[in-house]
A and B are shown apart, each in its own frame.
Chain A
Amino acid sequence: MAVLRTILYLVIYPGLLFLFAYSTFAEWFDRKLYARFQNRMGPTHTGRFGLLQPIADFIKLLAKEDIVPDAADKGLFHVLPAIGLAVVMTAGLLLPVWNFDLGAPSWTSFPGDIIVMLYLLSLPTLILFLAAWSSTNIFSTIGGARVLTMLFGYEVPLFLAVLSPAILADSWRLAEIAAFYQQKPLLLLTNLLGFAVAIIAVQAKLERTPFDIPHAETEIVGGTFTEYSGKKLALFRLTFDIEMVVSSGLLAAVFLGGFPGGAILGFLQFVVKTLFIIFLLSLLRALTSRIRVDQVVSFAWKVLAPLAVLQLLATILLKGFLS
């Protein structure tokens, strides 16, 4: 029985199939919202309300010619998209969705899984940099340098912001953090500042406007992806969609009280809460214009990091006061 559950977990929910289907839905949701914010229609033709458009795009890209530049580092160039996808899918398995027992740590839910998850979500950035570097294109190289520059900006505020609720819950395990806030929902309000910081940092991690600097098309063409085409580009796009779902799942687990209620109710909670976070991300995307890479770093260190530290300080004081 346990084996069956594990296979279900790996392959169906929240494993491969669900992450694929839900991430395409999330992309559709994001595109549709973004379009409506801009007074456009968004996808309409493929499937009802254009729901199948992301899948159609994915299949179309799979069928396209796959070009590898002569000067590229072939080995890296080939494996990086697959590694990126594997990494974010693995991160998806750590979401506290249904297959966990609060009392007994298992391989999907254990003390310290929040750290592992943050680490796994940082890896795609590094992979992106390597991808850019190995393709040797001048635009990619600049894009890759920008990826790393941005990483130094938003990573620390993100860690500080996500870890402060964990400190209040006195646990490094996502399931326990969520359970703690389910018991005391009012305490969620104390983390609002951290939530705002985390949303902005996740937006930067996902490289969406105003942080879409590494692939700013009007400046450096495709940026990191300039030389990628066909299957590899499709995998990279899927990686970003899944990363969006997983990171909004992480934020929902930490800041919005997780997904209680077993398999079905928990599933509904998962959908509603992640869609809410994706809504916030789309709103941010529609409201802002792209800023420069030096502005990202100075904004991250002058505004985001102090705010995250403030949140940490408030959490520690509150914890002392509560105990």
Chain B
Amino acid sequence: MSFEIPIGPQHPALKEPISLRMTVEGEVITGVDIRLGYNHRGVEKVAEEKNWTQNIYLAERICGICSHSHATCFVQGVEKLMELAPPKRGLYIRYLVSELERVHSHLLWLGVAGHEAGFDSFFMYTWRDREIVMDLLEMISGNRVHYAINTIGGVRRDLDEGQKATILEGVATLRKRSEYYFRIGATEPSFVARIAGVGMLSKEQALSLCATGPVAKASGVARDVRKEDPYAVYDELDFEVATADTCDVLGRVVVRVKELLESYKMIEQMIKNLPDGDIACKAPRKAKPGEAVSRYEAPRGENIHYIKSNGSDKPERLKVRAPTLGNYPATVEMLRNGFIADIPLIFAAIDPCICCAERTVTLIGARNGQESVVRMSDLRQQALARAKNAPVKGNAVWPF
């Protein structure tokens, strides 16, 4: 018996709206159809209306969890356009926040993975410890979610000696706990039984489907912008790219915990080698005409921002490629031939950030099911034309 189960747009396994239509044969999935566009916000269009500084805060709001990633990626691009060289101390603080954010994002994901697998104790423990890093971020920036520490040409807040000591202390605790989670995540029998061999993605598939971040790393592809194309301070830091070769969800858990341990190493190095000097340099109001591509290794994978300037104080075009978008094609392959029970785990294993990846909306006709992509102005015109012709109605009628 073959039937279709809708996962989403509203489903307890998903924290954001996306629609996965699964064709299942008993408990086995035979086909997957991903539908996007439930949370399109038009961020790229808004960016064209705001100036360079305002856009930092807009970019920060592309994502809640990797807010600093998008802001930093944008700021990097703008600094390239303006040919600015931010002072070293500013850069160190900026990427210190980056690594702390990676820690918070991965701890959050570990909890989510535990919850999706029905391992709620693991979820509660990791989220308790995530509070430590959230507190550190709040201490550094004043905020728990949108840190707003970036500015064009550096950062907005400095670190003092007391803060440095607190960060080192927090990181030491977190390292101990993460090692414990590594042991649980990789050895607890019922958990491993659930995640080993689930959502297989071979190395060749990962490469041909352009998987990024921990998904690619778990398939044995050591792809990391921090290592391949080191930006800012990463060529001065000693770290390794965490990989696993099991190609399954277990590998993705292992990669993320290993990345946590690498991040702790980097945080300690950055705190110990924090140079003296200014934290920011003065930035011009306008950028020269030109274009820049900025790459950044976000917790979920490679973040790409393309920025085009026409010489004014506003960008002519901002194009954002969030890592989740890069991982969708791989997800379809991972889900195929899996069990219904594994859908949330496999999908969660890419650490989806759905509304960050929403760049377009597909319209589907309610009556005929036809799909089309239209411009906002055309849509408006259609609506006006329809309203003009339609008879006046007392009550709206649901089209189905």
Give residues in A with beta carbon < 8 Å to B.
37-40, 138-139, 142, 209-210, 212-213, 216-221, 286-295
Contact = CB atoms under 8 A, between A and B. Distances in A.
A290 B118 contact: yes
Nearest to A37: B121
B341 A209 contact: no
Contact of A218 (B118, B121, B128, B188): B118
B190 A38 contact: no
Interface size class of B (residues with CB under 8 A): 20 to 34
Chain B CB within 10 Å — which of A40, A138, A216, A221 has the most? Answer: A216
9 smallest A-B Cβ distances: which pairs? A290-B118, A289-B119, A38-B124, A218-B13, A288-B190, A289-B191, A218-B344, A289-B117, A292-B341
Contacts of A209: 118-120
Q: Which of B3, B27, B340, B341 has the most C-beta atoms of chain A within 10 angstroms of its own C-beta?
A: B341
8 contacts: A38-B120, A38-B124, A209-B119, A217-B12, A290-B117, A291-B193, A291-B194, A292-B339
A166 to B, nearest CB: 31
A189 B118 CA distance: 33
Interface string B315-354: 0000000000000000000000001111110000000000
A163 to B, nearest CB: 27
Interface in B146-204: 188, 190-191, 193-194
A219 B340 contact: yes
Contacts of B121: 37-38, 286-287
A221 B119 contact: no
Given A287-B121, A288-B188, A294-B339, 9 more contacts: A138-B5, A216-B341, A219-B343, A219-B344, A290-B117, A291-B190, A292-B342, A293-B27, A295-B193
Contacts of A221: 11-12
Scoring B11, B118, B125, B191 by chain A CB atoms within 10 A of each residue's CB, the highest score goes to B118
B340 A220 contact: yes
B114 interface: yes
Contacts of B128: 39
B122 interface: yes
A210 B120 CA distance: 11
Nearest to A40: B124
Contact of B188 (A142, A212, A216, A289): A289
B340 A142 contact: yes
B343 A39 contact: no
B115 interface: yes
B189 to A, nearest CB: 8
A38 B125 contact: yes
B99 interface: no
Contacts of A288: 119, 188, 190-191
A221 B370 CA distance: 30
Contacts of A293: 27, 341
Contact of B190 (A37, A210, A213): A210
A41 to B, nearest CB: 11
A289 B193 CA distance: 9
B297 interface: no
A73 B12 CA distance: 26
A39 B190 contact: no
Nearest to B116: A218
State the main secondary structure of chain B at its contact with A: helix
A282 B118 CA distance: 14
A290 to B, nearest CB: 3
A7 B191 CA distance: 49
A218 B190 contact: no
A219 B120 contact: no
Contacts of B191: 288-289
A219 B125 contact: no
B119 A213 contact: no
Contacts of B125: 38-39
B49 to A, nearest CB: 40
| Residue from B27, B128, B188, B342 whose CB has the most chain A CB atoms within 10 Å | B27
Contacts of B119: 209, 288-290
A138 B115 CA distance: 23
Contacts of B118: 209-210, 212, 216, 218, 289-290
Given A217-B12, A219-B13, A220-B340, A289 B124 contact: no
Contacts of B342: 292
Contacts of B193: 291-292, 295
Contacts of B3: 138
B17 to A, nearest CB: 15
B27 A289 contact: no
Contacts of A38: 120-121, 124-125
Contacts of B116: 218
Interface string B201-233: 000000000000000000000000000000000
Considering residues A219, A220, A288, which has the most beta carbons from chain B within 10 angstroms of its beta carbon?
A: A219
Interface string B282-311: 000000000000000000000000000000
Contacts of B341: 213, 216, 219, 292-293
Contacts of B5: 138-139, 142
A89 B188 CA distance: 37
A226 to B, nearest CB: 11
Given A38-B125, A40-B124, A219-B13, A289 B340 contact: no
A33 B125 CA distance: 15
Given A39-B124, A40-B124, A216-B118, A289 B344 contact: no
A71 B312 CA distance: 62
A215 B344 CA distance: 14
Nearest to B14: A218
A297 to B, nearest CB: 12
Nearest to A287: B121
B350 to A, nearest CB: 15
Contacts of B339: 292, 294
Interface in B221-267: none
A221 B193 CA distance: 22
Nearest to A149: B27
